[in-house]
Amino acid sequence: MIKIGILGEIGSGKSYIAKCFRYPVFNADNEVSKLYKKDKKVFNKLKKILPNFFYKFPIDKNEVSNAILSNDNNLKKIVKIVHYEIKKKLKIFLKKNQKRKAVVLDIPLLLENKINSKKDILIFIESKKKDIYKNLIKRKNYNKKLLNKFKKIQLPIDYKRKKSQFIVKNDFTNRSVKREVNKVLKYIL
């Protein structure tokens, strides 16, 4: 099975492009949302380390945001707990899809948390800054301060670009993105 890791800036269209590969996608952001809604164990761990921010289950994303914005160390604490669970979910996903030709990993901290292996194909999504900004402000939970906190814990964009075997330019039009994705698929399959 080929594992395709999607890298890029927040708001560059990684999740959309991951779906364009037409292979099973492990979307870490969706998995985190499920943990907040359904995993009482995660809630109890977060409540224990940050009792002033986590009050009730299911976890409200505003509580998470407030915790992150109040102290730089809180994001690291949350990531440590959540990514441990995400790694377990990823193992289940990979086992379930082991007979597939390829899977796509849409995991924002893929390199930072050393989730990828040397054999994985890394694809960097390149988008213009103005397009990224337009994409970000459309999000219902857009918060510039929160975004900057997440950017601080990520590796530099240039590093991610250099680590990638392919660069897919995302101009946020379906046709060109699908053409770019098909070129990559022809090469790696």
Q: What is the pLDDT of residues 55-101, one digit of tens each?
A: 999 999 999 999 999 998 999 999 999 999 999 999 999 999 999 99
CATH superfamily of the 2-188 domain: P-loop containing nucleotide triphosphate hydrolases (3.40.50.300)
Q: Read off the DSSP letter of residue 155.
A: P
Sign of the CA dihedral running 70, 90, 160, 177:
negative
pLDDT given for residue 189 in this prediction: 86
Q: Which of 7, 3, 6, 10 has its CA nearest to residue 132?
A: 10
The helix-helix angle for 144-152 and 61-70 (nearest 10°) equals: 70
Q: Which two tokens stand for residue 33?
A: 């949302």
pLDDT value for 139: 87
Q: What pLDDT band is residue 140 in, cutting at 50, 70 and 90?
A: confident
Residue 169's region, left for phi above 0, alpha for psi from -120 to 50, else beta, is beta
Contact predicate 93/114, CB 8 Å: no
